Chains A and B, each alone.
Chain A
């Protein structure tokens, strides 16, 4: 009991309520104020990428464009994201992956576990880092998220190309040639796979990976990210 917020390091005061008093104590990782800054994605959203939509459109513009392109049509079946990628979360994720605050991956563990368990899938695989990047960071953030949620990641993919995604524009990202290849000798025929990453920005990375998996015979490819 009684701990400090993983994000802001302030002491967390115990919650005062009848339910808090008479029920099992849950591990509290972040304080109420930090929690309130995380915006959970709820309500109307894009059928594919989980982007919050304001009108009752079924699909967002981006996804429509992806789906209109015969090369990418149906590569990714469905993406699930937990939180909106606002400035606060941007800072948290930057701290997590770029500055190596590994423990922050525990913040999302409970949610990740719950949402992934709801999916009907066979394999969970992280988006891989290039060896160089992995060496630089010391861990793969996607793998960390999977591990903390209590799942077993299966590394199905490796990277061919090693340029950083975050330094590229949307157009560049879409146009780049395939960056992933199947690494494991697992028969993916008819398998349902979920790809895990930290952020869904344009969906390009995930679609590239999904495409490779689909080509290898996967029946369905979902993706799961913490931020969108």
Chain B
């Protein structure tokens, strides 16, 4: 069976997908797979039977597992008996910790809002492991995604068999008894103590990198550092990757041999320590993958030398074992990336990578192989990929592997053994880390290398995968005249989706669900332009310092920017800020930072708000022209038409009345959108433009009573009304009165709080409304 385990891993994957996704589709695929193995791969009958058996085994085992994947806890439970399964995450005034309900043996995510700074300090010192507690609180369903391509928290938790978030009313450690924790929890506790030990005994920068590289915990890392690692495409270095594990094991092995331990004993030692290490290192899929592979290889070394497991066999077996125990991990990004990149490198090692002899070219080629192997997954989850990562990998892989990782281990052990690390050593490390992060920041500024085609659909994914395999095959063949082909295919790989985006004949008008706020994206067909009317915004309160989160949620950064990127939109032609309210333009800062803006339109009012002024000054710094618009301004774009109805120049009334009000023709429909325009403003429009007619109304001010005047609605009678409003908002929007008025004129209402994003998708001036949630 040597060299054939890969074919078994494919069978196990098909079995799992058959159970989790579509039975028929993957069943047919499995049959085709067997036929291919028989006809093209000369598999013997016995081998085929074995493979079919693996497929069936994985199908049934997954099928049985998923029947148990549902909650057993009744919704109205409010007293829970729990033990703690994970380190607590304390961020600002929030405590989050994974717990297990003892009686029903179900995982729950416990959330508790910390009451005071003193309580926070106390909780930070507490050990949660080994306690059995009674907690009172209520169960809440996790949030679902409400925009296309948005991260679906509920699904994510479901994939980890977590079905509820428990909002605890009181500190979870109030009523507890101590009990002896299991071995697993004891190891987790050691890890937790190790993290805290680093936090206490080292300067913050060293502690942050130390916890990341030794314990696989990134929570001490500052969001800025993390984001520059992400942008440079080397965030994998901050996770404990397979590379780290093998380096570490190699170091330990060599040290052991050096001090005179026999090879046999060293193998025994490693075999027993590896599972422990996997837990101490945080148990991320990349760690488990690497540990499993090493474990399998060492096992064959110990028990059956003649087997000589190749790394290709080892990774294939590790893949199957991992999935057999935990099929849901197939949805995990870390799992997908770790395995696809490792498969890519292992498959390329014997021929492609062997060809490069110098260290430099070897690193570059490995980096290119890794980047290509992970590309479809990166694009699917992160919508973009940094070509810069090839360069940054070149610099940072050696830096991390040969300096930082062994260095930090050394510091850690010096501290543990001698109780003190000389200050100058710490200082040296701090300086080096500081230098490397500044270098990284500099690298990320060169953004021409970022490539953002958006989330590929299944068809594009297929094209990506086929192109990548083809490129690898041709690269492997190494014939002079194929070089041309390689360059061509590489260019095609990077460009085909972007070219499609530019020529997509389908246009979209989307009211993005930004909670309480407004944000409408107009994406014209054939790459003719993108306009964004308002940005949504998160109100921030000046809170005490201990309460503020490290990386607080902000709708522009967390919803709008990812949405735009997922659509492959990297350029906004006109950013229209209707008026100065935070819930309309607060997200502009993040958008200006991340997306190229050609022009900003603001209302030509006399007294712009503070937020508007702040945006204007940011725009000035970025040299984005800001245009003040007023009634009568208009522009055209192919079949679309935009006309500003109000405000008048130098308008000086209340802020809502001064909202930029637009009459638009897009996709064969006429639209009216007026920000928070109030009743008086609406009536003024009725007077000024009595013959106006439109089909779609963006209901003013999130359905507040202050907008949607009777006169205005009955005059224009829009067929469809769109309300952008947050769920359970504290203003009581949309107002029932407004809803009644809209019903009276028989207008169809779409609401973002109930239906998520509302998209009007059109082709040749014909289109349909598609709410994200049915």
Contact = CB atoms under 8 A, between A and B. Distances in A.
Interface of A: 1-2, 11, 13-19, 21-25, 27
A18 B472 contact: yes
Interface string B4-42: 101000000000000000000000000000000000111
B2 A13 contact: yes
Interface stretch (B330-338, B343-351, B409-417): B343-351
30 contacts: A1-B4, A1-B41, A1-B43, A1-B44, A1-B47, A2-B44, A2-B47, A11-B2, A13-B2, A14-B3, A15-B3, A16-B3, A16-B310, A16-B346, A16-B349, A17-B347, A17-B476, A18-B352, A18-B469, A18-B472, A18-B473, A18-B476, A19-B351, A19-B476, A19-B477, A21-B6, A22-B469, A24-B41, A25-B40, A27-B42
Contacts of B477: 19
Contacts of B41: 1, 24-25
A1 B2 CA distance: 10
B178 to A, nearest CB: 53
A23 B4 CA distance: 15
Looking at A2, A11, A18, which has the most chain B CB atoms within 10 Å of its CB?
Answer: A18
Interface string B285-315: 0000000000000000000000000101000
A135 to B, nearest CB: 37
Given A1-B47, A24-B40, 13 more contacts: A2-B1, A2-B4, A2-B44, A13-B3, A14-B2, A15-B3, A16-B350, A18-B347, A18-B352, A18-B469, A18-B476, A19-B473, A25-B41
Nearest to A2: B4
A17 B40 contact: no
Contacts of B349: 16
Interface of B: 1-4, 6, 40-44, 47, 310, 312, 346-352, 469, 472-473, 475-477
Contacts of B473: 18-19, 22-23
A176 B472 CA distance: 59
Contacts of B42: 1, 25, 27
A17 B43 contact: no
A13 B310 contact: yes
Contacts of B348: 18
A10 to B, nearest CB: 11
A2 B50 CA distance: 14
A2 B1 CA distance: 7
Contacts of B312: 16
Contacts of A27: 42
Nearest to B47: A1
Contacts of A14: 2-4
Contacts of B43: 1
Contacts of B346: 16
B48 to A, nearest CB: 10
Task: Return the 9 tightest CB-CB contacts between A and B, nearest first.
Answer: A14-B3, A18-B472, A25-B41, A13-B3, A25-B42, A24-B40, A16-B312, A17-B351, A13-B2
Contacts of A11: 2
B40 A2 contact: no
Contacts of A24: 40-41
Contacts of A25: 40-42
A21 B36 CA distance: 12
A21 B310 CA distance: 15
A216 to B, nearest CB: 45
Contacts of A1: 4, 41-44, 47
A22 B7 CA distance: 12
B2 A16 contact: no
Contact of A16 (B40, B47, B347, B475): B347
B347 to A, nearest CB: 6
B207 to A, nearest CB: 42
Contacts of B1: 2
A138 B666 CA distance: 88
Contacts of B310: 13, 16
Contacts of B469: 18, 22
Nearest to B43: A1
B472 to A, nearest CB: 4
A13 B3 CA distance: 6
Looking at B346, B469, B473, B477, which has the most chain A CB atoms within 10 Å of its CB?
Answer: B473
A148 B349 CA distance: 36
A17 B2 contact: no
A226 B764 CA distance: 70
